[in-house]
Amino acid sequence: MLNLKDILNGISSESKKMEWGNMKITIAKELDKTQDVLFLGLFEEDKDNGKSFSKELAEEVEEAMTRKAFSRKFGEMYGTKVSSHPYKKVVVTGLGEKKDFSVEKVRQALGKMVTATKGWSFSSFCTNVVEKVKTGADAELLGRAAAEGLLLANYNFNKYLAKDKQEKKKPLSMVSLQWNGGNDFSEGLKVGRVVVEATNWVRDLVNEPANVVNSEYMEKMAKQVASQYGSVKLKVLNKAELEKEGMGSLLGVNAGSQNPPKLLVLEYTGSKKGKYTAFLGKGITFDSGGYNLKPTKYIEDMKTDMAGAAAVMAAVKVAAELKIKKNLLGVMPLCENMVDATAQHPGDIVRAYNGKTIEIGNTDAEGRLVLCDALAYTEAKYAPEVMIDLATLTGACVVALGYYAAGVMGTDTELLGKLKDAGEVSGDRVWELPFFEEYQDWMDGSISDLNNISTKGKGYEAGSITAGVFLAKFVEKAKWAHVDIAGSAYWMVDGAYLSKGATGSGVRLLSYYLMGNQEKE
């Protein structure tokens, strides 16, 4: 169980500098009659159908259930016609069976309420949902989930819309949660708010177009994080330093771009002892595919290919804000994969930081080329105990898992278990892909040490796994895991509390992982 009290005690005094969003979340012992909408949650076991609120409501709900207009199944909503109340609207919402309710269901239930309230053009609501589920629940974790469900669902990216359209997409201003428990719930709300604001910060970065977000813009964001917290330092390797270090793999990807390549290292000191944990994020600010040009319907969203780097930067931000007892590196290789006369060709051979040669079998398999240099450099320079990389790496992972989980693989069973646990409790889930011995030579080259695409079979089989195999060749001693967020970072459908577009995938995963694995001092 995560020790959220310790985490809360560590929240930085600099928290006032964080962007806290525009939703006020209040806690009240009774349902707040000043809010626009009331959502009354009903479990399958609640046979009184809300009679404690009013006899009129219970009778209407029973009648609606008789004609199958409503059931108490999770997620169903029914707008009542009862008039004996001060609210503009009273909605009964199904919570399903008590035994099936979880912190993830809390996120989903509250997220659906936010979306519904915005859809009705109201600005606030109150609900009894967290009060109903408090028995037997971890109150701090419940508070965290509540903050996440509310604030993730309240997110809008509308800065490029005309003013009248922005008005139609206004976020909620207030939510009141009925709660008659102790202070642990409100403490969890505070911690959850730190995590979710960092997540929404990433969503802004990923939703921005590529003519705004390039390597220099990302460096500007990293400088802001470093200047905000005394515990964070920034190291920047520009093109000349990358050349000096021998990062030919990263430099090859950027060869066709007018924007400069960079390697950013955010170093957070949160412990007096213990080795580094390194998070590494793929930072391709636009991926054209290079000479293996991406086709229409695939190239349009390639501004999102820096989502891994953005998530890593936000995880450092969370660690500093919560004063996590861990020494952390956030490593971000940044460049563009573009096409011009200087761009690398299929068939070129580059030499990576660790001296291994790589034949370019496909210029669109570029993410592994920037990450491999970053992995080898980080291990050589900092000797981290753990390295976890995040990348929108393969379309194969989208095909395999869709949007609702990232693929994870690696060389350390214990580390993979911790990431899976962090994913389950945070709702930012991962699904382990096999890393069998039989795969380990599938990226071997014929005229070079490695090829950046599989040399076995037809070349596309097990695409997510073979990409991970390639990365593993650049890790020697550290416990390592690779997280492929290609599907989870950018959704093409709306979810219960995440809308279409950037999701901030990886931020909650890494934050929960850090909070559950702090150094004992």
Q: Are 485 and 311 in contact (CB under 8 A)?
A: yes
Task: Look at residues 188, 192, 177 and name the one whose alpha carbon lies nearest to residue 124.
Answer: 177
Examine the residue annotation and report whether 294 is marked as an active-site residue of this protein. Answer: yes
**The one-letter amino acid at 453:** I
In the set 368, 418, 479, 508, the catalytic residue is: 368
Cα-only R_g, the chain: 24
Report phi then psi at 149, rounded to 5: -60, -45
In the set 5, 235, 239, 294, the catalytic residue is: 294
Examine the residue annotation and report whether 368 is marked as an active-site residue of this protein. Answer: yes
Q: Which helix (H) or strand (E) holds 149?
A: helix 139-153
| Lookup: tokens for 284 | 């391709």
Report phi then psi at 90, rounded to 5: -120, 125
**What torsion do the CA atoms of 173, 177, 181, 185 make, to the nearest 10 degrees?**
-50
Centroid of chain to Cα 200: 9
Quickly list DSSP for 57-117. Answer: HHHHHHHHHHTTS--SSTT-EEE----SSSSSEEEEEE---GGG--HHHHHHHHHHHHHHH
Burial pattern 335-359, b for ≥16 Cβ within 10 A else e, equals: bbbbeeeebbeeebbbbbbbebbbb
Task: Look at residues 510, 429, 431 and name the one whose alpha carbon lies nearest to residue 464.
Answer: 431
Q: How far apart are CA 75 and CA 39, in angstroms?
A: 12
* Burial bucket for residue 392 (CB in 10 Å: 0-12, 13-18, 19+): buried
* Nearest-5° Cα angle at 31, 25 to 35: 60
Which residues are marked as active site? Answer: 294, 368
